[in-house]
Structure 1
Amino acid sequence: MSDFSEDESIRTTSKSSDLDDYDILSIINMSAAVPSNSDLEFRKFIWAAMATYAFGNKSIDNVMKRYDYAWQEWKKGAYERDPLILSLRGMFKIINKVSSDLEKTEVENSLSSICAKAALCRLEASFKAAYGLVRKEYIFETDAVAKVILEQLAWAYSAKGLNEEDLLKLKPNKCITKFKEFFPESGTFYGRINKWAHLDPFIVKQYEKFHNEQVSVVRRSHQNSRESGGTIIMLSLVYLNLVQVLFSIYKKDDFQKLFDKLSSFRNSYEEDLKSDL
């Protein structure tokens, strides 16, 4: 009997449409999420709908016409403006493209190649989840997903070319040492992410204090989450390189363009991070 239900099997091979990116529009005490790729006219309509409700009016068209002057000023903030978030968003667009291109690529008919390809394709959702967690400033959750990404990259690298017996014995958290052949800093990265993804003694003491005071807490941090975003962008470069080395899906010039673009997002992120901290 299969270990997976039909729904779970479908989910492991489908795109992360359930993790679509968004921007937040706000007016007075109301907010609405809109797709990040939605155009200005759509945003104006949503803004007008909220204004109509807030003002107790019934006609959205009337509000759009009557308060157009207010929209002209307000629309300057209708899109995400945080440079760190924009760099992560740009990074994910490239990850999404690479994952989609890999998904369309025919690979050799061996279990190790098929599994390595599937492991890399599914990381599209992991990168998107990590980006969303950074945006919401969840620190432990971001680093936990970063750990999964690194382990999955290491597993895909180790899996390619193995026979079926050895492949079935392969465990992601045991592949980091071999992955150093491809990504020498993987050991350092893994150790750091492992530490960040768990409750260290200092934080445990904080939780004890909060518990005794009957205070509910969520571990969030603007600074730490943004630092974790830098880890995610670095891993995106490793992802692109690994896909190309294992499956050669791009011509040299096409690969270089993607690599340069991704590198520019990383460089911008690092510079903006210095200003943000």
Structure 2
Amino acid sequence: MTGQPRIVVTGVSGRMGRMLVQVINESDDARLAGALERSGHDWIGRDLGAMLGGAETGVIVGDDAGAVLADADVVIDFTSPAASVGFAQDAAKAGVVHVVGTTGLSDADIATIDGAGRDTVIVRAGNMSLGVNLLMTLVKQVAEALDPAWDIEVIEAHHRHKVDAPSGTALMLGQAAADGRGVALDDVSDRGRDGITGARTPGDIGFSAIRGGDIIGEHDVLFATEGEQIVLRHRATDRALFARGALRAALWGHGQPPGAYDMVDVLGLTRSG
């Protein structure tokens, strides 16, 4: 495929939706072709540019995914699990690339979304930044190198409006640690401590979540044993980095064969193990 891919943004009135629109409009490599919002939203049927406080652009906000995707090459989706499952089916029917940054997905949601890769390109990631995906590689390497006497804790912080915990990125990092140790994350995950919990279970991978203010995203992976600690850290200071990563995924996915991919594929990182 050649030419600028035509991109649709879902949840266009939200924080990520607005940022995606800005990043796409600033790009010379893609163009915004459509915008989606939930049925009943005040923006439905109105010009997106005007709704964002600028000049009219001719892009009208719609709520019929099938109709909007008919004239698109890619849909970028940072919405909700239920919405993303529906968009995966819509994207597969329309034959457009589906870039999914939604978090809080269940195993069943993931299976359904990735299953759409039989018919189209799915690029799904809990975090689309280069730094986080490099951090995942480091976490796996460190976990593989250290013996089980080292406790592992994933500590994450986000803004007060985030509705899921642990974050999708925290779970990605926990999975990387579990992969490094050669264990199933579900078997060793410790996600809640309150009251008299008893001593930490050896080999567990713990998760701690902080919510407050306007924190964009901070993730620490702590490796701790008697007498020493290792901390691997990533801090996001600009939400645009996630939008830029999603656009990079969209451009990469445009022209790829059908399949379920992630940011390791997009960024060309070595997939070890």
TM-score range, shorter chain: under 0.3
Tell which structure's C-alpha radius of gyration is larger: 1
Greater per-residue helix proportion: 1
Greater per-residue strand proportion: 2
